Structure 1
């Protein structure tokens, strides 16, 4: 079988979906770690921080050539994951199957495994909104307030986040996006390892625990950011 035939086959599409998904999961780890720097402003850490740690980290990510090149790869993987996801969803619906697996009956499925297309669509809208709010002003239009830390001048992305999250509707949309992310990860995490043949029965409970923990912790941390800024727990002074 030719490589082109393999990657256009059902198995090949699932493999691409799994590999791109695992890459995006690794990105989430980095992204949530960077964004968690906003919590350094909390009273029991450094209430005088005013987003200094976060802005410095964001400046490093935006000014480092290697990371900017990796951003291009990230967008490519996002597109691949989204396109393959919709292709598989259409194929699965036409075959009346469940998720990314062969149909096993109603007991072999969960509502979120059958709703990956819907959850993926919600995440796509959330991603577009997120890019419009933060990535475009930071990377494209550069219309953020400049801030200086010693000899370094950076964009005050922290201030932008606080301002955006004063709108309760935006906060609600972000929280809903994080909930969708959690359900998407809950199925996708285990499905990716199963497709790659790494879902050994001896370690199935470990994989489930890791997948569940990751699917709760990461979206929860993301959701706490707009919530904490809306209620003034994290703010600039």
Structure 2
């Protein structure tokens, strides 16, 4: 049973770290939206076209989809295994004294992120792949206009900001958990791992949170 659980954790760690790497690339691409509108439209639409037309990137995207599915499925399996291993609940639970809030609520955080991903894929990926978008001056699908339009809605901004806060807490715990599973969280490197984990989580969280707010306040003014 321990070997099986370890295998589940390894799958979670590997897929999680791949998704962490993808988030860096995704953030760098989305930061183009902070450019002046004329430049942002051309660059972002070209970037979107590149992602959909390059065979190497298509292969990576399939790995991404499989990683998201595997990460979610194995998270559910591990949750069930942990619940079964704990057995009956005690009246007085001291876990809150030795574990962080985000580590005890990874199920809730993961559910929020999963709901966000469904909405995100529906509004952008599905529309880009199967919708009838207008073309920009360069002949690329004008996904930029869809993004700008969606981020001018207050409720959409609130949804995104809350989802990215959940993502930040999820990343923070997930990064440390993965480093332990892969044997990287050793006394010699513990401080470096902690600093890197915090820096990465804050950078990704606030980077993604900045973009919708920037669009909302600049295009609604």
TM-score relative to the length of structure 2:
0.91
Q: Determine if the alignment matches structure 1 residue 53 to structure 2 residue 43.
A: yes
CA contact 2:12–2:71 (8 Å) conserved in 1: yes
Structure 1 or 2: larger helix share? 2
8 Å contact 1:38–1:234 — kept in the other structure? no
Aligned counterpart, 1:132: 122
Contact 1:179 1:219 in 2 (8 A): yes
CA contact 2:168–2:205 (8 Å) conserved in 1: yes
Partner residue, 2:68: 78
The Cα offsets for residues 110-163 of structure 1, whole Å up to 9 and x where unpaired, read as 110011111000000000010011111112x132221132xxx21111111010
Instruction: Answer whether contact 2:135 2:142 (CA < 8 A) is retained.
Output: yes
Aligned to 1:100: none
Question: 1:69 matched to which residue of 2?
Answer: 59
Q: Does 1:16 align with 2:11?
A: yes
Return the alpha-carbon distance in structure 2 between the equivalents of residues 127 and 51 of structure 1.
24
Deviation at 1:105, TM superposition (A): 4.7
1: CA distance, partners of 2:2 / 2:57: 28
SS of the residue 2:140 aligns to: strand
- In the alignment, the residues of structure 2 paired with residue 164 and residue 105 of structure 1 have an alpha-carbon distance, to the nearest angstrom, of 41
Which secondary structure does the structure 2 equivalent of 1:173 belong to? helix
Contact 2:128 2:143 in 1 (8 A): yes
Q: Which residue is equivalent to 1:142?
A: 131
Count of equivalent residues: 216
Gaps in structure 2 of 5+ consecutive residues: 88-93
Match of 2:137, SS?
A: strand
Aligned partner (choices 30, 38, 42) of residue 33 of structure 2: 38
In the superposition, relative to structure 1, how do residues 63 and 8 fare at CA in structure 2: closer, same or farther (>3 Å)?
A: farther
1:197 to 183, 193, 205: 183
Q: CA deviation at 1:7?
A: 10
- SS of the residue corresponding to residue 147 of structure 1 reads coil
Tell me the distance in 1 between the aligned counterparts of 2:193 and 2:98: 18
For 2:91, the equivalent position in structure 1 comes to: none
Rounded to whole Å, the distance in 2 between the matches of 1:136 and 1:181 is 22
On the 8 A contact 2:16/2:174 being kept in 1, the answer is: yes
> In the aligned structure 2, how far is the partner of 1:173 from the partner of 1:179?
10
Q: Distance in 1 between matches of 2:185 and 2:219?
A: 41
> Following the alignment from structure 2 to structure 1, what is the Cα–Cα distance between the partners of residues 64 and 40?
29
TM-score, length-scaled by structure 1: 0.85
Distance 1:173 1:81 in 2: 23
For 1:184 and 1:146, locate their aligned partners in 2 and report how far apart those are by CA, in whole Å: 37
Distance 2:186 2:219 in 1: 44
Where has structure 1 moved over 2 Å in runs of 4 or more? 93-97, 104-108
Structure 1 spans left out of the alignment, 5+ residues: 1-5, 42-46, 98-103
